[in-house]
Amino acid sequence: MPTIPPALTALPRHVSITVSYRGGHPENIHHGSLAVVNAQGELLASVGDVDSPLFTRSSLKPFQAMPLIALAADRLGLDDADVALLCASHSGEPMHVDRVASLLARMGANEATLACGSHVPYFYGATGRQPEPGAIFNRFHHNCSGKHTGMLLLAHALGQPLSGYLDTQHPVQRQIAQSVSHFSGVPVEQLVRGTDGCSAPNYALPLRSLAHAFARLTPTDPDPVYGLAPQRVAHAMSRHPELVSGQGRNDLTLMRAGRGDWVSKVGADGVQAIASFSRGIGIAAKCSEGQLVPLMVALVSALDQLGWLDAESRAVLAGLVPPPLRNAAGIEVGEMRAVLRL
């Protein structure tokens, strides 16, 4: 029999957060964890494992944009819409693609400068549409092209070469690592690093640290290192959720439900972070198998348990919760329900 190599690290201790029932009996059990933390770093509530490092994926984007906003946003003439796009996992709609192209042009760069690769825009999967025959997509359409544009703008502002901007020793990535460390409270030398789907460095953080980082976007007082950049990043995202996300996407829905009080950022493979300005609280959640739908079912339940929801926000968030499961004959045969308890 083949030898099974030992695990490099201990596996996270996730718990059941969402269950799919068929005929009232559990069929599929979705595991995960969730942390609720205030701006002072106090863990207010949790389920599962909030201490094992988990890859943050695109939920990290506000903190990847932070050095640029603190150092050069005014000098480069970036407005709130620009800042929102730099933090986006966008859908590749014209408003996203055109703004990326415009921002790159400011420093004499173009589509070829981006190192993110390309894929079919998320717009199609989110809206159930199909690309037109013969449609061609480029790096502008990659959901992370805004983040990469921000990294290039930072390199330009620092007077550093645009080439090699994803190298971990490039000044851009060193600045980003310092930002992630500062807001999460995890020392730079303890950050667990991997490579994201867009080829940029990414970091694994405990959920309590990711939730704390998001909570630190909410105070009105200047940050001791990044000044008013955290407020600028968070409010830009909240004011322009359509640029952070896109039609039919969960971050757009969440921030619309918050009516200006929430900043939200999804990460690939089942990560979600959200913070409330009025409460000074951040939440970070992970679905262990990387599925977004059961994660959203659990998150909406957690928000309700925490008292964040009213009738209007519940109505907006209803689209994130799947309807009862029906078979091919239209017969209702099951449902998905959250089982986490804070």
Q: What is the CATH number of the domain that holds 71?
A: 3.40.710
Asked whether residue 8 is assigned to any structural domain, the reply reads no
Asked whether residue 5 is assigned to any structural domain, the reply reads no
Specify the pTM: 0.96
DSSP-assigned letter for residue 170: S
Domain that holds residue 235: 15-126+135-338
- Give the distance, in angstroms, between the CA of residue 222 and the centroid of all CA atoms in the same chain: 23
Asked whether residue 3 is assigned to any structural domain, the reply reads no
Helix, strand, or coil (residue 11): coil
Long-range contacts of 185-190 (CB under 8 A, 24+ apart): 185/41, 185/209, 185/212, 185/213
Asked whether residue 328 is assigned to any structural domain, the reply reads yes
Asked whether residue 284 is assigned to any structural domain, the reply reads yes
* CA dist., res. 198 & res. 107, Å (int): 22
pLDDT of 9 reads: 72
pLDDT of 315 reads: 97
Number of domains in the chain: 1
CA-based angle 60:287:323, to the nearest 5?
A: 115
pLDDT of 6 reads: 56
Smallest CA-to-CA distance from 253 within 315, 202, 199, 302 is with 315
Asked whether residue 218 is assigned to any structural domain, the reply reads yes
Asked whether residue 267 is assigned to any structural domain, the reply reads yes
Which amino acid is present at 247? Q
pLDDT digit string (tens) for the chain, length 342 residues:
555 555 567 899 999 999 999 999 999 999 999 999 999 999 999 999 999 999 999 999 999 999 999 999 999 999 999 999 999 999 999 999 999 999 999 999 999 999 999 999 999 999 999 999 999 999 999 999 999 999 999 999 999 999 999 999 999 999 999 999 999 999 999 999 999 999 999 999 999 999 999 999 999 999 999 999 999 999 999 999 999 999 999 999 999 999 999 999 999 999 999 999 999 999 999 999 999 999 999 999 999 999 999 999 999 999 999 999 999 999 999 999 999 999
